[in-house]
């Protein structure tokens, strides 16, 4: 164990030397390569880098930043850094008041965000940005490393939470991040490996446990696991959310799109089987899909850099209930969404935006747990970069739409 930890730490500190070994991946500059980003962040906060045997597939995890996956690469240290990372904020060591937008492709939060059972608003506080605070255990406090190897790391955090209604929770999060082999990624997608496409995949398995002496009840508020990934926005990036076809009477609305107010049709297109959503970080907006509509996958395509990103997540059978995170007192606090996507932008009240990113998110069901009971949730992230013809075959097979349909869905 100690040898493994030391070996990975040495790998991080030696990135500068490894970066000169090969040329940068096509379309990648030195400033946005995996090596450059992890070297910059590693100088301010220790990272653990999971790697394949040939060191081409890399995943950087930060125990100090709640065990989040900061970024990944499909082409070694000189390959593109796929996560959005706020290097300036991390290097400053300056904690922000409401939320530390450090970035990262996979971080864990606890829901609900809004409503009478929110854990982001103090009891009685107005539901606005001035009174919104991310709980410190999932924003500024470190997670403990329990175990690690070359391709996986397990972390843990125990803490307490108080919701808007005054209910106290004693919780523990256990989190395992694993690097997936390219072979397992293609096998999971049920597709043959593409010749001219580089791929990297990883997954986080998250467990939430009731560590208190009282059961969690619907009438006093339930919690959920909430996994969020931040990615670099672009005028040429579009989010794709496959949905189940059917009438609203049968399945409900195709998409929830009023989290932060209405979204213009130039930024959101709703088809019978798919939703297209602009990912340019120029207009603050969020969408969500219910468990009746969701298919357990969301994706995005960056046409400029030829990157197709797929995020898969678990949906348990039996139509479970999900917490409602709308910023208001809710008529039905357990009619929430299982999958979400967020596009950052300038806040309506003025001031700087959080960053140049978009998010792909998923949640576990609302957890009515007896003392000692747990609920689990998995989110898997896959990046594919390369030849558009081969990426198109993946997109059609997995998302149900072609790259041309994605490119033409919304005006640039």
Q: What DSSP string describes 377-410? A: EEEEEEEEEE-HHHHHHHHHHHTSS-HHHHHHHS
Whether residue 6 is predicted with pLDDT greater than 90 in this model: the reply is no
Cβ(338)–Cβ(322) below 8 Å? yes
Instruction: Please tell me the distance from the alpha carbon of residue 273 to that of residue 213, in angstroms, as a whole number.
Output: 45
Instruction: Please tell me the distance from the alpha carbon of residue 41 to that of residue 402, in angstroms, as a whole number.
Output: 36
Q: What is the mean pLDDT of residues 194-220?
A: 97
Whether residue 12 is predicted with pLDDT greater than 80 in this model: the reply is no
pLDDT recorded at residue 117: 98
**In this structure, is the dihedral angle defined by the CA atoms of residues 128, 122, 207 and 178, taken in order, positive or negative?**
positive
- Residue 392: pLDDT band with limits 50, 70, 90: very high
Instruction: Please tell me the distance from the alpha carbon of residue 343 to that of residue 281, in angstroms, as a whole number.
Output: 5
CA atoms within 13 A on the CB side of 39: 15
Instruction: Please tell me the distance from the alpha carbon of residue 392 to that of residue 340, in angstroms, as a whole number.
Output: 24
Compute the mean pLDDT over every residue in the chain, rounded to the nearest whole number: 92
- Residue 8: pLDDT band with limits 50, 70, 90: very low
Helix (H, G, I), strand (E, B) or coil at 261: strand
Q: What is the mean pLDDT of residues 356-368?
A: 97
- Residue 29: pLDDT band with limits 50, 70, 90: low
Q: What is the mean pLDDT of residues 178-183?
A: 98
Instruction: Please tell me the distance from the alpha carbon of residue 375 to that of residue 383, in angstroms, as a whole number.
Output: 27
Burial of 312 from C-beta contacts in 10 A (0-12 / 13-18 / 19+): buried
219 closest CA partner among 170, 172, 163, 290: 163
Q: Could you tell me how far CA 227 lies from the centroid of its own chain?
A: 5
The torsion defined by the Cα of 183, 186, 192 and 195, in degrees rounded to 10, comes to -70
Q: Which residues in 342-380 are b (16+ Cβ under 10 Å) and which e?
A: bbbbeeeeeeeebbbbbbbbbbbbbbbbeeeeebebbbb
Whether residue 10 is predicted with pLDDT greater than 80 in this model: the reply is no
CATH of domain 2-409: 2.70.98.10
- Residue 18: pLDDT band with limits 50, 70, 90: very low
pLDDT tens track for 123-154: 999 998 899 999 999 999 999 999 999 999 99
Could you tell me what percent of the chain has a pLDDT over 70?
A: 92
Is beta strand 68-73 parallel, antiparallel or unpaired with respect to 274-278? unpaired
- Residue 30: pLDDT band with limits 50, 70, 90: low
Longest dimension (CA), the chain: 60
Could you tell me what percent of the chain has a pLDDT over 90?
A: 84
Whether residue 287 is predicted with pLDDT greater than 90 in this model: the reply is yes
pLDDT recorded at residue 27: 52
Question: Out of 1-15, 189-203, 289-303, which region has the weakest mean confidence (pLDDT)?
Answer: 1-15
- Residue 15: pLDDT band with limits 50, 70, 90: very low
Global pTM value: 0.92
pLDDT recorded at residue 348: 81
Q: What is the mean pLDDT of residues 216-243?
A: 98
Cβ(212)–Cβ(145) below 8 Å? no
Cβ(153)–Cβ(137) below 8 Å? no
pLDDT recorded at residue 31: 60
For 136, other C-beta atoms within 10 Å of its C-beta total: 12
For 308, other C-beta atoms within 10 Å of its C-beta total: 27
Specify the DSSP element, H or E, that contains 377. strand 374-386
């Amino acid at each position: 164990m100690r040898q493994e930890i030391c070996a990975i730490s040495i790998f991080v500190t030696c990135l500068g030397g490894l970066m000169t070994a090969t040329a940068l991946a096509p379309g990648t500059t030195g400033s946005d390569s995996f090596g450059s980003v992890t070297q910059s962040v590693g100088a301010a906060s220790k990272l653990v880098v999971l790697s394949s045997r040939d060191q081409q597939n890399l995943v950087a995890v930060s125990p100090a930043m709640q065990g989040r996956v900061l970024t990944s690469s499909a082409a070694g240290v000189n390959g593109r850094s796929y996560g959005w990372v706020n290097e300036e904020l991390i290097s400053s060591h300056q904690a922000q008041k409401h939320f530390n937008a450090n970035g990262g492709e996979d971080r864990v939060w606890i829901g609900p965000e809004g409503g009478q059972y929110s854990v982001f608003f103090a009891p009685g506080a107005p539901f606005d940005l001035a009174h919104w605070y991310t709980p410190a255990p999932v924003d500024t406090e470190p997670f403990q490393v329990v175990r690690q190897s070359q391709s996986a790391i397990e972390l843990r955090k125990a803490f307490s939470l108080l919701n808007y209604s005054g209910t106290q929770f004693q919780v523990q999060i256990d989190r395992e991040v694993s690097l997936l082999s390219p072979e397992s990624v293609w096998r999971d997608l049920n597709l043959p490996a593409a010749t001219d496409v580089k791929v990297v995949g990883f997954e986080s398995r998250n467990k939430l446990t009731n560590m208190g002496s009282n059961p969690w009840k619907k009438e006093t508020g339930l919690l959920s696991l909430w996994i969020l990934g931040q990615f670099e926005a672009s005028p040429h990036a579009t989010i794709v959310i496959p949905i189940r076809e059917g009438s609203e009477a049968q399945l409900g609305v195709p998409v929830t799109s009023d989290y932060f107010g209405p979204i213009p049709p130039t930024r959101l297109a709703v088809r019978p089987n798919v939703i297209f959503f602009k990912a340019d970080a120029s207009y603050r907006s969020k969408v969500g899909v219910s468990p009746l509509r969701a298919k357990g996958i969301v994706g995005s395509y960056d046409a400029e850099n030829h990157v197709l990103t797929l995020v898969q997540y678990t949906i348990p059978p039996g139509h479970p209930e999900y917490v409602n995170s709308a910023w208001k007192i809710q008529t039905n606090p357990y009619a929430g969404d299982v999958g979400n996507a967020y596009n950052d932008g300038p806040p309506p009240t003025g001031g700087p935006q959080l960053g140049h990113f978009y998010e792909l998110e998923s949640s576990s069901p609302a957890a009515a747990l007896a003392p000692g009971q747990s609920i689990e949730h998995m989110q898997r992230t896959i990046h594919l970069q390369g030849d558009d013809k081969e990426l198109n075959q993946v997109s059609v097979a997995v998302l149900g739409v072609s790259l041309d349909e994605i490119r033409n869905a919304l005006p640039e």
